[in-house]
Amino acid sequence: MKYTFDAKTTIPFLAFRGLRAIAEKNVGEANVLDLSQGEPGYGFSPNVRSRRFFAFLAILDIAFNNHNIDLNKNLFFKRLDSELSEIENIVEKTADENFSSSVAEQLKNDWNEFILELEKVCDAQNLNYDRFTIYYELFKYSNLMGGRYPQPAGHPLLQAVMAEEYSENLGVKVKAHELIGIMGASHGVGATFQGLGEEGIKFLLSGDTVAMTSPVYAPYNAIFVERDIDILSLPVDPETGGVEQADVEKILNQKERIKAFILISPNNPTGFTSNETLLNAIERIAEKHNSIIITDEVYFRFFKGAKSICQYPNAARRLIRIDSLSKIERATGVRAGDIYVSDHANDFISNEILGEFFNPNTTKATDVRNLLFLAKSPGGKNLGLFQHITGIPGPSVGLSLAHVVLGKKERAKYVEMLEKKVDIFYDTLGVKKEGNGYYGMIDLEKLESEDSKQLDIECVLERIAEKGVVLMPANLFFSPADRKAKDRTRMIRVSLPNLSFEGTKRAAEIVLEVVKGK
pLDDT digits (tens, 9 = 90+) for 437-463: 999 999 999 999 999 999 999 999 999
- pLDDT for position 37: 84
The answer to whether the Cα torsion of 200, 205, 210, 216 is positive or negative is positive
pLDDT band for position 42 (cuts 50, 70, 90): low
Q: CB of 303 within 8 A of CB of 273? A: yes
Q: What is d(CA 168, CA 211) in angstroms, rounded to the nearest whole number?
A: 30
- Kindly report the number of other CB atoms within 10 A of residue 301's CB atom: 21
- Percentage of the chain surpassing pLDDT 70? 96
Residue 368 φ/ψ region, left for φ over 0, alpha for ψ in the -120 to 50 degree band, beta for the rest:
alpha
- pLDDT for position 384: 79
The class level of CATH for 158-401 reads alpha beta
Average pLDDT over residues 458-476: 97
Residue 157 buriedness (CB in 10 A; 0-12 / 13-18 / 19+)? buried
Q: Which of 103-112, 287-296, 509-518 has the weakest average pLDDT? A: 509-518
Average pLDDT over residues 420-434: 95
- What is the DSSP code (8-state) at residue 387? G
For the cut 70, the answer to whether the pLDDT of residue 168 exceeds it is yes
20-48 in b/e form (b: 16+ CB < 10 A) is: bebbbeebeeeebbbbbbbbbebbbebbe
For the cut 60, the answer to whether the pLDDT of residue 72 exceeds it is no
- Terminal-residue alpha carbon distance, the chain: 28
Q: What is d(CA 337, CA 168) in angstroms, rounded to the nearest whole number?
A: 17
For the cut 70, the answer to whether the pLDDT of residue 257 exceeds it is yes
For the cut 90, the answer to whether the pLDDT of residue 221 exceeds it is no
The SS3 of residue 178 is: helix
Domain assignments of the chain as residue spans, ordered by start: 12-45+410-515, 48-148, 158-401
Average pLDDT over residues 280-287: 94
For the cut 80, the answer to whether the pLDDT of residue 266 exceeds it is yes
- pLDDT for position 467: 97
pLDDT in tens, 202-212: 999 999 999 99
- The predicted model scores a pTM of 0.93
For the cut 70, the answer to whether the pLDDT of residue 304 exceeds it is yes
pLDDT band for position 385 (cuts 50, 70, 90): confident
For the cut 90, the answer to whether the pLDDT of residue 43 exceeds it is no
The arrangement of secondary structure in 12-45+410-515, i.e. its CATH architecture, is Alpha-Beta Complex (3.90)
Average pLDDT over residues 348-376: 92
Average pLDDT over residues 365-394: 87
| Highest-pLDDT range among 15-19, 226-230, 463-467 | 463-467
Backbone phi, then psi, for 194, in 5-degree steps? Answer: -70, -40
Average pLDDT over residues 335-361: 95
pLDDT band for position 515 (cuts 50, 70, 90): very high
For the cut 60, the answer to whether the pLDDT of residue 71 exceeds it is no
Q: Which of 147-161, 177-191, 308-322, 355-369 has the weakest average pLDDT? A: 355-369
* Mean predicted lDDT score pLDDT of the chain: 92
